[in-house]
Chain A
């Protein structure tokens, strides 16, 4: 699944560690999500959406219209 996490993080000038701390996950988890090696669970996706104050579908793209 594609996502805009890296772009959104860069826009706020946050490191992976900064984002990980705000999401209460490890830095490896942020890296795995950014590189598409891990699709976050629904609760984590909601946490990400709330943190960036955006709808989930504007952050994650499953390739369907």
Chain B
């Protein structure tokens, strides 16, 4: 594979092309996600007004899930093994954060030492931990 392409394109040109294809893929995924976000938001309003049946919301949710799965599989096929490791480490650290944060908060809540566990806050914090871990690895902290 490499030998054949070497005669056609330089390595730097191939890398540039690879990066362009990857960014284009991410851009398409982003545009589709934004579009689906608008559609589901609109559908939510229609459902609240009683003009949209519940099954349509479930169908939209299924569509969003399928799109997310499609993008994720494609993303992991496009990244190299180092980026794959960075992603997996970030997910692992974020999961450990969640697995510790929620039970800890729940424990303190049960002891009357903390307010009720805020799932949204823990979810957002887990996402932040994921991003920070990924960026730290990208910065060379492997």
Q: Residues of A with Cβ closer than 8 Å to B?
A: 14-15, 17-29, 32-33, 37-38, 40-41, 44, 47, 50-51
Contacts and interface: CB of A to CB of B under 8 A. Distances in A.
Interface string B70-93: 000000000111110100000000
Interface residues of B, number: 23
Interface of B: 1-3, 6, 9-16, 18-19, 79-83, 85, 138, 140, 142
11 contacts: A21-B10, A21-B16, A22-B11, A22-B14, A24-B1, A24-B80, A25-B81, A26-B15, A37-B140, A38-B81, A38-B85
A24 B12 contact: no
A24 B18 contact: yes
Contacts of B81: 25, 29, 38, 40-41, 44
Contact of A22 (B2, B83, B85): B2
Contacts of B138: 28
Contact of A50 (B2, B11, B83): B2
A45 to B, nearest CB: 11
B142 A18 contact: no
A20 B16 CA distance: 10
